Structure 1
């Protein structure tokens, strides 16, 4: 994770081990690898681009979350679409909203305006060294 934080010398240190197969290097970065990785290391890598989830994938993720919860979310059809739009392709953000909504214990179906009000009531947790820190920065 955050492979772009290695400096050029550190990245060069991986090269002989990647070349001879001793190390299978799997790295993740939020930066453009073409600008951040050593060209020699990049030439030996396979770069996979992970795109945002589309509306269908977010709906499927929401449905799977409902199966895990054991009950449907209290949302009408328009609110479901609004919730997916709020996630803006970020599955982790969507799942956090699902958890927060479930924790509220609401039973009446929410429309988009009610959903927006319910989501805004929750203050994001901030605990620098824990999971909420990473959830918060991934949403920014």
Structure 2
């Protein structure tokens, strides 16, 4: 019916798809060429302590991501949501000078609970305030990391 919920964006090395029951409630869509390693829960349970610890750590990170997303959707303004999203991508890239945006504006809007027009307006606002700069449609660099962090950390 045209409605879509994006829970998160996963990057190389991230663990995703942890399901608690026998039915799959979520789907994954790759926006880039990807290699996926599938591990059955039964293998995690029977593989020894290291694999079980890996499973629990992945579960903890997944819960933390979900909690952060709930706070983002429930407490932040549109500008703060977009700033949080860009800061998160920048942090995950390890402080690279230029950060790739592997997803399009519509994907960002669906994830942030905003319209594509609002996302585009907020990106333009952040660029005009010299907080970020767009090198290309899907690449940006953080120009003023303090301002980006201040916006991203508001309402937490």
Q: Which has the higher contact order (CA 8 A, sep 6+)?
A: 2
TM-score by length of 2: 0.21
Give the number of the structure whose residues are more often strand, by fraction.
2
Name the larger-Rg structure: 1
Give the number of the structure whose residues are more often helix, by fraction.
1
